[in-house]
Every structure is written in structure tokens, then in C-alpha cells.
Amino acid sequence: MNRSTARSHIVLFFTQDLSLATWDTVGMFEREVALYKRLQEKNIRVSFVTYGDAGELSYTHRLPGISIYCNKWSLPEWFYKRLITHVFPFFWRGPGVVKSNQLLGADIALQASRRCGKKFIARCGYLPSNILAWRHGEQSIECQKTQALEAAIFREADCIVVTASSMQETIQERYGIPDSKVRVIPNYVDVQYFQPTNNSRDPHLLCYVGRLEKEKNVRGLLDAISGLKVELVVIGGGSLKEELMATVKEKQLSVKFLGNIAHGKLPRYFNRSALFILPSFVEHHPKTLLEAMASGLPVIGTNVPGIKDLINHGETGILCGTSPGEIRAAIKEVLTNGDLQTSMGKNARRFIEEHFSLERIVAMELRLLDELMQE
């Protein structure tokens, strides 16, 4: 670490309306804070700006040394936003950067960075406009408004961090952003925590982890397993839960909906399952897929951007179409070939270790921070 990085300060702005309590409720807390705990070990100061209430301060014992800025006074939203953009920045003295965790709310983080005179990193793990384009069409008001917001943020940011090269290409083509301004820093996996065990896998158990929304195509997965002698574990929540549960009852499928679970419990399900499936219509850089692969679990993913960038078909996993028939064929192919399961699991584990370990991503974050400090 160069001298310019030592004692630097990262002020992370949470996605708008999200909080530490939200992360905890949906089982994301440990996964999301892991990077910043490691950066602390490298002598980097860390502050979180969240949209939670005074309850956020109860997390200080789980985040020793990390400063938590929250709406502990339960102020109206407009007033709190003014506070975090006009008042809090005066407390962030010394070298450092302001960073957004996602694009929604990045405009607030940008304002704060300019107020305290620090560089701004627009970090985005996904492009909201891509999801809205899929849901409503590219010419929809929702999509157009979000693209305008993305354009404004990207043009003003000092650096843009995306999780995949496909996102980098989209940003450069759509918004005319120069290559030098965009950095690809992937999502990470704690490969010491997510790793294969000696426990035997249930040869009929399938696993899905993710939100229960239309773009995730869970309905297509349920249709795909209809008639197969398999059991499916569904981890995650969303607006379609009741509808999907009704489908399971109607089709008499063997499916367990576990809802949101603590991140620390995921490895036990990955190491019990025979197969992980991500049947999405739209993805960017799915963390759960990375974690399943790190666990040596054979994976199936649809052949869409974000998934096909991670799966080398036939080597680290299987790619398939998004229709129930194509997903069903892929499931049959993997479950009836034990040698394929073994080889894909080993190859996937090796691939994650080489490219997406937490240690590697920490090093990339430190290099970026050092470059910005030198500038």
C-alpha cells in the first residue's frame, strides 16, 4: 500500500431508502460489510451513510471502528437528505473518497462529495435502466428517466466502478463515457467460507437463491421441474411469493420456500444440494451464482449477459435458454451425469478462487483508492 492510501477514508452511501437493518433482514449484512472490514485492516477509515433510524447505531458492536451516519432523529426524508449532503460532509476531513453502493441514491452521494471536496466513485453492481427496459420497454417513461439519471451521475463522477465488462461496454456506448473513467471490480466471494465440504449431496435436491420477481423467471423454473423427481429449495423473498406458492400447490410440486435467511446459512444449503439454478431473464453479476460456484456446486444458468460471462458452458456450468423446456433439459443433463457434476464443480471452484476471491477484490479496491489519492 502506498503512502497516499494510508489513513485514507471511504464514505459509503447506501442505496436510497436502505439501511443496515435492511441488509440484516434480507440476509445480506455479512456479505456486504466483508469488504469494508478487510479495508479497515489495511488502515482505511470507513464510514457508512444509511437511510435507517436510530436503530442503526445498535450495529456498532458488529462494525467496530466503522462510523455510522443515520437518521437517528427520524427527520422527514427531504430534511435528512439535506443533512447528509450539506452538514455531514464537514465532518469528513482528510484524504478520502465518497462512494455510492448502487446507482439509486448516487446523486445524493455525488452532492455530498462536492460539498466536502472529495473524489466521487459511482459504484454500480447493476444498471437500473436495464431492468426497467425489460419490464416496461426502452422507450418507457420509467426507463428514460432512469437513463437520464445514470447519464448525469456517470458524467460527473470521478470514477465509475462496475462489476462486469459487459456493463462497462454498455455505459461507454450508451453514455459516451471514456474507457479511462470506468473500472471493472467484480463482486467477491469469501472462498474460505464458501467452499466444498465432505458432506454427501442429496442427488435430487435443487437450489435457487434470489429475489422472487418477474425478471428472475422463478415461474419458469417451477414449470421446468413439473414432472421431475426432484425437490427445490427456494431462498429469498419478493412480490411474487404468494403467486409462486399457489403455483406449487396447484402443480403439486416438491418445493420449500425458506424466505430470506442469514448469509451464514447459505453454505449448508449449497453443500447439501446437487445443483444450483439461476433461470433469470436479466442479470448483471449475480453474487449467489459466484457463491454456489465457490462451493463446488454444479450450476445451471440462462444464456443471458451477466450469467454467460461467468459460466463456461460444459466446463464451469451449463448454459440454457429461458424457457421451461430448455431449463428442464439442462437439469436432466446434469442430474444424469455424475462425472459432469464432479468436473464442473471442481472447475467452478478453481475459477472463483482465481478471479473473485475477497482478497483479490480488496487489492483492486486499494489500487483504485491509491490512484485517486495520487491524482
User: What is the rounded CA–CA span in Å between residue 121 and residue 220?
Assistant: 37
Neighbours of 370 (CB within 10 A): 17
215 and 268 together in one domain: yes
pLDDT of residue 172: 94
pLDDT of residue 3: 46
Number of domains in the chain: 2
273 and 316 together in one domain: yes
133 and 170 together in one domain: yes
Q: How many CA atoms lie within 13 A of 366 on its CB side?
A: 22
pLDDT of residue 1: 47
Which strand ranges, in their side-by-side order, compose the sheet holding 275-278?
255-259, 231-235, 205-209, 275-278, 299-302, 318-320
Q: Which of 335, 109, 98 is nearest to 225 (CA)?
A: 335
Locate the DSSP E strands across the chain.
9-13, 45-49, 67-69, 96-100, 119-124, 159-162, 182-184, 205-209, 231-235, 255-259, 275-278, 299-302, 318-320
pLDDT of residue 224: 98
User: What is the rounded CA–CA span in Å between residue 183 and residue 129?
Assistant: 20
Identify the CATH number of the domain in which residue 106 sits. 3.40.50.2000
Chunked mean pLDDT (size 10), the chain, 375 residues = 65 97 95 96 96 98 97 97 96 94 96 96 95 94 96 97 93 94 96 90 96 97 96 97 97 96 94 97 95 97 95 97 98 96 97 97 96 87
Cβ-contact 72, 57 below 8 angstroms: yes
Q: Note whether residue 4 is domain-resident.
A: no
160 and 274 together in one domain: no
Q: Note whether residue 295 is domain-resident.
A: yes
362 and 351 together in one domain: no
